[in-house]
Structure 1
Amino acid sequence: MKKTLRYNFRIKPTPEQEAKFIEFGSYARSVWNLLLSENMLRYQYDKTFVFYHEMAGLIKDLKKFEEFSWLKAFDSAAAQQVARDLEAGLKNSFTKGRTQQFPTFKVSFKQKKLHNDSFRCVNNSNCIRIENGAVSIPKIGKVPIVLHRKLVSEIKTVTVQLSHGKWEVSLTQEVECKTAKRVLHSIVGYDINSQHTVVGSNGWYVKNPKAFKRSSTKLKQIQVQLSRRKKGSNRWHKTKSRLNTLHGKISRQRLAFAHEVSCSIAKTSDIIVFEDLNVKGIQQFNGHMVNDNVMGMITSLTKYKVELNSGIYHEIGRYVKSSGICYECKHTHKFGLNVREFACENCDLVQCRDLAAAKSIESTGENDLIAAGIVARVTPKSQKKSSTKTKVFESSKFGVGTEKKEAA
């Protein structure tokens, strides 16, 4: 089984190529707004939408008009990718179980005070390739690239974007997953909170590094300096660049930390269980803490890394209670967030709140997977109690004829 992954690389374009990137980004934004307005007008007229094939034909027809001559300068495959993205956004906004809203118009970076336009090109007939330390992009040319790692496979698409004042390309490649395991030997549940980034049911935990909090003093100093500068002056631009660079450093620290933690989790066990947290809702109470804790990023990175290692990733329901449950007698308790340790009212066992929640998540995830038929507990030959507490599972849906078997 193959999985499509995305790898980011830094590029160093010339001033002419950088101007071309900004121009193509504005073209992609204009195509999005044009197709979205057409969809809204069509829906008002006959309650229908225009999807990819009709949108691609519309782009081709608009090139004949003088007002849309700029479409000829834009890469046709990149314009088609904008149509595919809009189609996906329309379908997701009306799909049950998805929380995405209806697509909105994109405004220019001058109105939003930041530049985040991007465009995506498709590798048709090997038009996107890396040769002699440069990546070739359609209608742009060869751009110097910083290859910090080898390519896994052939390039499928390339996305050009500006991140914290630095240009980057995002290359999508297909990666071969490991052979599916017939027998899964261990399961671990993980609890995410503010004090510790993750706490595992096996006792493993990682403290929150708080990258933003450690750099908050420096951020305040630069922001005060920026407020005293005359807007548009040379010193204002220099201070703005320093502020942007510091924000980029914080973002990279968070991403590096999330990759390290997710990689350690993916290699720990065969079955990984998390809780489906409403990260967007938690941000309303303490946005800085949630962003600094990279809650959503860790789960998304762990998911694809577990699949690459042929493991199973599972999330328990969002409204399933996991906190305040004794892991010995399963007695439930109610207390505030300031209580980090508690004594069970039934068995008087003193336990850590986070560790108890992680073990509860593990138990709930185990029952969910067994009930869904994804894994099946293997009955050992000997009925004697084992000295270890390792749980043995066998996958029942990885292939034909892999129902319950006796453990070796």
Structure 2
Amino acid sequence: MKKTLRYNYRLNPTPEQEAKLIEFGATARGIWNLLLSENMRRYEYDKTFLFYKEMASLLKELKPFEEFAWIKSFDSAAAQQVARDLETAVKNAFSKVRLQRFPKHKVSYKKKKLHNDSFRAVNNSNCIRIENGAISIPKVGKVPIVLHRELVSKIKTITVQYRHGKWECSITQEVECKTAKQVLETITGFDINSKQTVVGSNGFVADNPKFLKQAIEKLNQLQRQLARRTKGSNRWLKTKQRINKLHGKISRQRLDFAHKTSRQITNENDILVFEDLNVKAMQKFNGSMVADNVMGLITQLSKYKAELEGKLYHEIGRFEKSTGICSECGQRHVLTLNDRRFTCTACGAYQSRDLAAAKSIASTGELDIIAAGIVARVTPASQQKQSVKTKVFELSKLDFGSEKKEAA
């Protein structure tokens, strides 16, 4: 089984190449706004929308006109990707599952004062390749790249963007997943909370580093400095760029922490059980805390890493109760956010709220995957004569991909 993954690399373009990248980003934004305006006009006329084939044909018809020469100078495959993205956005706006807003026109560079547009190119006929420390981008040329890791397979697409004062390219590649493990020796539940980022039922704890809190003093200082500047002046722009770079540093720290934590979790366990968190609703309650805790990011990274390693990832239902359940007798308790430890009213066990929740998640997940027929509990010959036996599971003989669909 293959999986499409995305890898980010730093670009070091020359001044001429940088001007071309800025121009292409603005062109992609212009095509988006043009096609969106045509969609809105069509809807007002006959209550229908343009989809990918019609939008691609429209772009082809507009190229011969002199006023649309800017479309002709752009990579045609990249223009088609803009049409695909707009089609997806329009469909998601009317999907009952996604519940997204209708797409909006993208703001111009002059209004935002930042050229942070992006465009995506497709590797047709090996037009995108890395040679001698540079990556060839259609109609841009060979741009120097910081290749901090080797490519795993052939490049599918490349997305170029200016973020936090640096040029970056995001490369998608197909990666072969490892064969599914037939014998799964460890099952661990993970509770994600505000105090510690992750607490495992096996005693694993990853404390919340709170990168935003560490940088808040410097951030407040720059925000006050920005307020004293004349809006639009050179000093105002320089201060705004410093704020942008600081936010970029915080973002990279969070991503690095999430990758390292999810990698450790995946390496040490065969079956990973998480909660299906409603992160969007939690952000309305305390957005900065949830963002700084990378709650949803760790579960996403752990999921794809488990699939790559041939291990099993499972999420229990969103409304399954896990907090306040005694890990010894299963008695349920009502706890407030301030109650980090509690004493069971039935058996008198004094325990950590988060560790008990993680054990409850592991127990619920174990029952779910056994009931779904994904795994079966077995006792290896090496453990038959031992008094203390660890839980070992055997993967069912069904196809590994179909098992995951059934579990979902």
Q: What's the TM-score, normalizing by structure 2?
A: 0.92
User: What does 1:184-333 correspond to in 2, within 5 Å?
Assistant: 184-333=184-333
Q: Alpha carbons of 1:100 and 1:391: their partners in 2 closer, same or farther (altered >3 Å)?
A: farther
Indicate whether 1:166 and 2:161 are aligned.
Answer: no
Could you tell me which runs of 5 or more consecutive residues in structure 1 were left unpaired when the two chains were aligned. 404-408
8 Å CA contact 2:135, 2:145 repeated in 1 = yes
Report the counterpart of residue 76 of structure 1 in structure 2: 76
Give 1:127 shift: 0.8
Give 1:288 shift: 1.5
Query: What amino acid is aligned across from residue 6 of structure 1 in structure 2?
Result: R
The 2-side partners of 1:370 and 1:194 are apart by 30
Query: What amino acid is aligned across from residue 312 of structure 2 in structure 1?
Result: I
8 Å CA contact 1:128, 1:137 repeated in 2 = yes
The 2-side partners of 1:115 and 1:284 are apart by 29
Give 1:234 shift: 4.0
The 1-side partners of 2:325 and 2:114 are apart by 46
Query: What amino acid is aligned across from residue 128 of structure 1 in structure 2?
Result: I
Give 1:318 shift: 1.4
Report the counterpart of residue 54 of structure 1 in structure 2: 54
Give 1:344 shift: 0.9
Indicate whether 1:107 and 2:146 are aligned.
Answer: no
Counterpart secondary structure, 1:338: coil
The 2-side partners of 1:40 and 1:101 are apart by 14
Query: What amino acid is aligned across from residue 211 of structure 1 in structure 2?
Result: F
Q: Alpha carbons of 1:232 and 1:50: their partners in 2 closer, same or farther (altered >3 Å)?
A: closer
> Per-residue CA shift, 1:156-196, capped at 9, x if unaligned?
11100011011101111111111111222221110111110
> Per-residue CA shift, 1:381-402, capped at 9, x if unaligned?
79968544522222225439x9
The 2-side partners of 1:28 and 1:343 are apart by 59
Which region of structure 1 is more displaced relative to structure 2, 40-49 or 240-249? 40-49
The 1-side partners of 2:121 and 2:153 are apart by 17
Report the counterpart of residue 406 of structure 1 in structure 2: none
The 2-side partners of 1:388 and 1:14 are apart by 65
Give 1:224 shift: 2.2
Counterpart secondary structure, 2:53: helix
Q: Alpha carbons of 1:4 and 1:332: their partners in 2 closer, same or farther (altered >3 Å)?
A: same
Q: What's the TM-score, normalizing by structure 1?
A: 0.92
Give 1:13 shift: 1.2
Q: Alpha carbons of 1:86 and 1:235: their partners in 2 closer, same or farther (altered >3 Å)?
A: closer
User: What does 1:10-21 correspond to in 2, within 5 Å?
Assistant: 10-21=10-21
User: What does 1:360-375 correspond to in 2, within 5 Å?
Assistant: 360-375=360-375
Which region of structure 1 is more displaced relative to structure 2, 285-294 or 71-80? 285-294
Report the counterpart of residue 125 of structure 1 in structure 2: 125
Counterpart secondary structure, 2:303: helix
Counterpart secondary structure, 2:285: coil
Report the counterpart of residue 406 of structure 2 in structure 1: none
8 Å CA contact 1:29, 1:117 repeated in 2 = yes
Give 1:293 shift: 0.6
The 1-side partners of 2:308 and 2:247 are apart by 31
Q: Alpha carbons of 1:38 and 1:236: their partners in 2 closer, same or farther (altered >3 Å)?
A: closer
Query: What amino acid is aligned across from residue 316 of structure 1 in structure 2?
Result: I
Q: How many residues are treated as equivalent by the alignment?
A: 402
Counterpart secondary structure, 1:158: strand
8 Å CA contact 1:177, 1:310 repeated in 2 = yes
Report the counterpart of residue 34 of structure 1 in structure 2: 34
Which region of structure 1 is more displaced relative to structure 2, 214-223 or 3-12? 214-223
> Per-residue CA shift, 1:310-367, capped at 9, x if unaligned?
1111111212211111122211111211100011111111111001111111111122
Q: Alpha carbons of 1:230 and 1:155: their partners in 2 closer, same or farther (altered >3 Å)?
A: same
The 2-side partners of 1:143 and 1:175 are apart by 25
Report the counterpart of residue 97 of structure 1 in structure 2: 97
Give 1:49 shift: 3.1
Q: Alpha carbons of 1:396 and 1:17: their partners in 2 closer, same or farther (altered >3 Å)?
A: same
Q: Alpha carbons of 1:46 and 1:9: their partners in 2 closer, same or farther (altered >3 Å)?
A: same
Query: What amino acid is aligned across from residue 328 of structure 2 in structure 1?
Result: E
User: What does 1:2-13 correspond to in 2, within 5 Å?
Assistant: 2-13=2-13
Counterpart secondary structure, 1:64: coil
CA RMSD of aligned residues (A): 2.3
8 Å CA contact 2:383, 2:389 repeated in 1 = no
Query: What amino acid is aligned across from residue 240 of structure 2 in structure 1?
Result: K
Query: What amino acid is aligned across from residue 375 of structure 1 in structure 2?
Result: V
Query: What amino acid is aligned across from residue 331 of structure 1 in structure 2?
Result: Q
Query: What amino acid is aligned across from residue 38 of structure 1 in structure 2?
Result: E
Which region of structure 1 is more displaced relative to structure 2, 65-74 or 205-214? 65-74
